[in-house]
Amino acid sequence: MTIDKTFDPAAIEAKWYAHWESTGAFRPDRPSAEPYTIVNPPPNVTGSLHIGHALDNTLQDILIRHARLQGKDALWVVGTDHAGIATQMVVERQLNARQQKRTDFSRDEFVAKVWEWKEESGGEITRQLRRLGCSMDWSNERFTMDEGFSKAVIKVFVDLFNQGLLYRDKRLVNWDPHFKSAISDLEVETREMNGHMWHFKYPLADGETYTYVERDADGNVTLEEERDYIAIATTRPETMLGDGAVAVHPDDERYKPIVGKLCEIPVGPKDHRRLIPIITDEYPDPDFGSGAVKITGAHDQNDYGVAQRNNIPMYRLMDEVAAMRSDGAPYAEAAAQAKAIAASGQWTAADIDALNLVPDAYRGLDRYEARKRVVGDIDADSLMIAVENKTIQQPFGDRSGVVIEPMLTDQWYVDAKTLAAPAIEAVRSGAIDIVPKSWEKTYFNWMENIQPWCVSRQLWWGHQIPAWFDDNGKCYVAETEEAAQTLAGPNVALTRDPDVLDTWFSSALWPFGTLGWPEQTGELNRHYPNDVLVSGFDILFFWDARMAMQGIHFMGEGGRRPLEESVPWKTLYLHGLVRAADGSKMSKSKGNTVDPLGLIDQYGADALRFFMAAMESQGRDIKMDESRVAGYRNFATKLWNAARFAQSNGIGGSHSISAPKAKLAVNRWIIGEVVSTVEKMNKAFAEFRFDGMADVLYHMVFDQFCDWYLELIKPAFVDGEKGEMDSESKIVAGWVLDQILVMLHPFMPFITEELWHALSDPAAPRSYDIIHAKWPEPNAAMDADAIAEINWVVDTISKTRSFKAELNIAPGTRLIANIAEPQSSTVAIIERQAAALSRLGRIDSFVYAPVSTNNIAQIVVGGDTVVFALDGVIDLDAERARITKAIEAAAKERDALAGRLSNASFVERAKPEAVEKARADHAEKAAEADRLTAALARLG
């Protein structure tokens, strides 16, 4: 098959992908090989491939293809995530477009619609992953809501419950009023906003007064007045309606006279205003605001803690959309009950939750409208002291973008603290290796301060929680309804908890749930723990940490298995984010996203992949740079053309893993370059340095192979100087090209597969695809003599080109070189390399005698001074300047080295090899400077 003149990625990509997939190439049967496993972070089933996926999946595919080339049983598990909120959002949006809404349907109907949608459109991202060339095991594609995986999810829930590690609790949660659901701490994003702080008077009960005294740091009285109120500052006046107390610091002298007394919430109908106690707690900071804090346990995280510590009732004020409650008894009645409850000190959570303490006038108002009204009403009562502008930290839902309302609700929680302990130990002990290491600290910090994980969501799409309630609210947790019924006993009517589980609760099981767990399958035994997990650091807490917790807990069999066997993966590789060219974060709303599919269309998947590898230096973010993608497209084209050259000269596929035997220096040299490249690649793989891998390959192909090796062996093929040696060069060139293709394959799978077959010897075609080739093991060494020889040749050619360019001599000018007193080794090199020196250096011949003219250009190569007679074409002043510059450069280095060597402490204290090297370098530079000085003198 002749290689086309131009490289067209689109022409080969689809072909090879289909070939690989249809032949099962991604998962060859290697039952006795060492397993190597990566699970792919399941993309949202709603999703389409964004640039971050391109990075993440390219890195994984490089690792998997590399492992496959190493002969391992490489398994890359793939699947999609049901993505509860995101997917429900998409389908609801579609309904909205048709003037319908979710609640027009029954839950079952709606869920059926989502499934329908999933079947229709869920395949987009998996098609796109194929376009990127990802070699996943599609034959076992999974979905987080498929039957087997769902079974695992339910079992985990039930087991955790039975182990006391999962429980139902009424706590303050982050409530997203848009989704009408609880969300986890991680899904809340705090932003700084311009807001206000209002200062109000809370009048003391029964018109009581006290002497309010303020002192400066020295104890001098700065203010003393009679007050009939306590001053309160708040950024959220609408929550005053649910205040249960006012707290001051126990050491705050100003308020000591009134601690234990009652004050009045200054809002609502005057005859039914509630009185709340003034209590002490360590929480208030006497130096902030007035030093007194209103305590609204049901709508503020801080207050919640204070209320809990002091047994202060927490009154929920808002409904599911964060509007002021409009349910329950009228305000007057509720306020009276609240008074009774507060006075008794005895209540249940249900009692309190039934109380709607929103005054009738505010009921049903949006929380911000209610705020305006509260402030206005207090102001009208002359109870407002001041309002100041203030930047406040406001929580937003990361998906909905609306302001989160802390809300007291019943939810399911996982005891994350208990699960985190072994996960912390796993990283500490090295059972999990985090790369780059700098993330360990972040991991520890989060894990050590972990809070209970709220895992229930008030959605319809997801794994419905396997808990049933009887009429008394008693809860039964079991894997099936039958089992729950058995727990509850006969004739007990049960209702299933309508909530679903946090998506991350299920995806946390991905490393073992996809391998068949809870069944003890062969796959599970073989591929757990996974070898590596590749993920963006942005999901370190969301996903990675939770996989570690769940994996160790369930696969560790309650600590009976050692951590090394329990962890989900041995290495956690965290990469950065792909950012826009200006460094900003890519986002749809900013409209600065780059579509990876567009880049593939334009430059080819191989180029995009190579870009991702080349830019991935551990841990750093990647700025998008399209010119660089174009550069790697050029690189692919370069390789393509090198292969064309090879093919047209009968250089074909090699069948050898080991390096061929070679006599020619150029061949021994390039074999050494392959050896060196393989070593560098192996090291880079061991260290997960993707940029290093790309760099090594790029320079091997461009510099060593194309620019020098192919040029150096051209005489044998092109100039018709076919000696006995051309067959050796053909064999070596074919072998080298094969090694390059194999090493490049994980990065550029398409072009390498194409060329692998195109370069096949028609008489003995390849017996396997490159995807199943063998990673190079040259079984050869660097050859010092060959390196020295090729260095001499390369140096001579480069320096000859250089002086021509600098002296404005046409590069094509053919010259004769004189070496007055050549070293014997030089003569031998020149004899062997005459053809290359002629073709690349345009040097017709070498004469071992001085020249008779002073119109000369001179270069120093190794220990030789090479002289070119240039009567009539040389500008001697320019040549003097050129040589002078070279002398200066050599002399500068020589002197620097001399300075170092004359420093007694350097010679005494530096490492001997450093001293030795300095001596050698100094001698070399001194000799070079001397030769150049002599050359300058010859010019007269």
Site for RNA in 320-349 (CB under 7 A): none
β-pairing, 569-575 with 530-536? parallel
Site for RNA in 513-532 (CB under 7 A): none
Cα dist from 35 to 11, 72, 82, 561, 570, whole Å = 34, 6, 28, 20, 13
Return all residues near 264 (Cβ < 8 A) that are at least 6 apart: 202, 203, 204, 205, 273, 274, 275, 276
- Side chain identity at 308, as an amino acid letter? Q
Q: Is the Cβ of residue 348 or residue 389 nearer to RNA in the bound state?
A: 389
Site for RNA in 434-493 (CB under 7 A): 438, 441-442, 445-446, 449
Interface pick for RNA out of 100, 103, 162, 393 (rule CB under 7 A): 393
Choose among 451, 457, 444: nearest CA to 545. Answer: 444
Q: Is the Cβ of residue 284 or residue 652 nearer to RNA in the bound state?
A: 284
Q: Is 286 in the site for RNA (CB under 7 A)?
A: yes
Stretch that binds RNA, among 53-61, 200-208, 348-356, 700-708 (CB under 7 A): 700-708
CB of 6 to RNA, least distance (A): 6
CB of 817 to RNA, least distance (A): 17
Listed in order, strand segments (DSSP E) in 754-842 are 815-818
SS3 content of the chain, % helix, strand, coil (to 5): 50, 20, 35
3-class SS at 758? helix
- Side chain identity at 79, as an amino acid letter? G
Q: State the SS3 of 148-161.
A: HHHHHHHHHHHHHH
Contacts 24+ apart (CB under 8 A), 561-567: 562/431, 563/422, 563/425, 563/426, 563/429, 563/431, 564/431, 564/529, 565/529, 566/422, 566/426, 566/431, 566/529, 567/426, 567/431, 567/432, 567/529
Choose among 726, 685, 715, 751: nearest CA to 834. Answer: 715
Site for RNA in 610-649 (CB under 7 A): 615, 617, 619-623, 625, 627-628, 631, 633-634, 636-638, 641-642, 644-645, 648
Overall residue count recorded for the chain in this entry: 940
166 and 413 Cβ atoms separated by less than 8 Å: yes
Return all residues near 152 (Cβ < 8 A) that are at least 6 apart: 509, 512, 513, 517, 518
Q: Is the Cβ of residue 139 or residue 445 nearer to RNA in the bound state?
A: 445
Q: Is 396 in the site for RNA (CB under 7 A)?
A: no
Q: What is the C-alpha to C-alpha distance for residues 284 and 289, in angstroms, rounded to an integer?
A: 10
Residue whose structure tokens are 């073709």: 839
Q: Is the Cβ of residue 78 or residue 743 nearer to RNA in the bound state?
A: 743
Interface pick for RNA out of 162, 301, 429, 587 (rule CB under 7 A): 301
Site for RNA in 809-848 (CB under 7 A): 810-812
Phi, psi dihedrals of residue 541, rounded to the nearest 5°: -85, -45
CB of 44 to RNA, least distance (A): 19
CB of 611 to RNA, least distance (A): 10
Q: Is the Cβ of residue 7 or residue 461 nearer to RNA in the bound state?
A: 7
Q: Is the Cβ of residue 336 or residue 920 nearer to RNA in the bound state?
A: 920
Site for RNA in 37-76 (CB under 7 A): none
Q: Is the Cβ of residue 113 or residue 236 nearer to RNA in the bound state?
A: 236
Binding mask 209-238 for RNA (x = CB under 7 A): ------------------------xxxx--
Binding mask 774-813 for RNA (x = CB under 7 A): ------------------------x--xx--xx---xxx-
CB of 770 to RNA, least distance (A): 19
42 and 144 Cβ atoms separated by less than 8 Å: yes
Query: Residues touching RNA: how many (CB under 7 A)?
Result: 92
Q: Is the Cβ of residue 62 or residue 78 nearer to RNA in the bound state?
A: 62
Q: Is 711 in the site for RNA (CB under 7 A)?
A: yes
Site for RNA in 530-549 (CB under 7 A): 541
* Two structure tokens written together for 502: 């946090």
* 427 sits in which H/E element: helix 416-429
Q: Is 415 in the site for RNA (CB under 7 A)?
A: no
3-class SS at 852? coil
CB of 520 to RNA, least distance (A): 37
Q: Is 115 in the site for RNA (CB under 7 A)?
A: no
Q: Is 424 in the site for RNA (CB under 7 A)?
A: no
Q: Given CA atoms 93, 98, 104, 108 in this order, what sign does their dihedral have?
A: negative
Q: Is 293 in the site for RNA (CB under 7 A)?
A: yes
CB of 221 to RNA, least distance (A): 21
Stretch that binds RNA, among 28-36, 142-150, 290-298, 462-470 (CB under 7 A): 290-298
Q: Is the Cβ of residue 227 or residue 772 nearer to RNA in the bound state?
A: 227
CB of 90 to RNA, least distance (A): 24
Stretch that binds RNA, among 207-215, 414-422, 707-715, 819-827 (CB under 7 A): 707-715
Interface pick for RNA out of 289, 328, 364, 518 (rule CB under 7 A): 289
Q: Is 139 in the site for RNA (CB under 7 A)?
A: no
Binding mask 907-936 for RNA (x = CB under 7 A): --xxx--x--xx--x---x-----------
User: How far separated are the first and last CA of the chain, in Å rounded?
Assistant: 61
CB of 284 to RNA, least distance (A): 4
Site for RNA in 874-913 (CB under 7 A): 893, 896, 900, 903, 905-906, 909-911
Q: What is the C-alpha to C-alpha distance for residues 338 and 358, in angstroms, rounded to an integer?
A: 12
CB of 185 to RNA, least distance (A): 5
* Two structure tokens written together for 827: 């003569």
709 and 736 Cβ atoms separated by less than 8 Å: yes
Choose among 154, 125, 165, 127: nearest CA to 42. Answer: 125
Site for RNA in 349-368 (CB under 7 A): none
Give CA torsion, residues 628, 629, 633, 636, to 10 deg.
Answer: 80
* 600 sits in which H/E element: helix 596-603
Q: Is 308 in the site for RNA (CB under 7 A)?
A: no
Binding mask 164-203 for RNA (x = CB under 7 A): ---------------------xx--xx------x------
CB of 463 to RNA, least distance (A): 25
Give CA torsion, residues 890, 894, 896, 898, to 10 deg.
Answer: -170
CB of 854 to RNA, least distance (A): 23
CB of 308 to RNA, least distance (A): 12
Q: Is the Cβ of residue 323 or residue 701 nearer to RNA in the bound state?
A: 701
